[in-house]
Structure 1
Amino acid sequence: MKWTRKGDRKIYVGAKIFDQQGCIAYLCKTPNEARCLPGTLEALRAEGVQIVILDSPEIYSEYTPYTYI
């Protein structure tokens, strides 16, 4: 998926449980979703879970392996 506006890029929101390997990652459908989704997830976040925004998941080895949803 590519966004059509110049300068837009793929943005993923990831959720990782501290001290466990791997995370789940969600590819945002629009730039607006990428702006709003992390705040919504933070409000629902369980203790010990980290919410992160990633533009190039492959360079963040501390979150691998990724389970894309």
Structure 2
Amino acid sequence: MTDNNRFYIIAKKFNEVGCIAYKCKNLIEAKSVPNTLEAIRAKDVQIVILDDPEIYSEYAPYKYIDNLREFMNQAGNLNLSI
């Protein structure tokens, strides 16, 4: 079985190394989750959708999070980390 879903949501704090990443389960999730994250993100946090994170070295290293709720919690709290 081929994995045709290649959408990852990335949350990264500007001017810091690394990011958190979540692999979307389907296209609907890929379209809706970034809008929700935009509403809760801090001004210094970037939210992007990528098709293949490993080719975008500017976001590395990636910390992959399997659970959407956990990803959203961590993305919403990126501005709180020191």
Normalised by the size of structure 1, how large is the TM-score? 0.87
Aligned-residue sequence identity (percent) comes to 59
Matched with 1:52 is 48
Q: Which runs of no fewer than 5 residues in structure 1 stay unpaired?
A: 3-7
Residues 1-69 of structure 1: pairs in structure 2 closer than 5 A? 2=3, 8-69=4-65
Contact 2:5 2:24 (8 Å CA) reproduced: no
Aligned residues: 64
Query: How many Å separate the matches in 2 of 1:56 and 1:28?
Result: 12
CA drift of 1:10 comes to: 1.4
Query: How many Å separate the matches in 2 of 1:59 and 1:9?
Result: 16
Normalised by the size of structure 2, how large is the TM-score? 0.73
Q: Deviating runs (4+, > 3 A) in structure 1?
A: none
CA drift of 1:34 comes to: 0.4
Q: Which runs of no fewer than 5 residues in structure 2 stay unpaired?
A: 66-82
Query: How many Å separate the matches in 1 of 2:5 and 2:63?
Result: 20
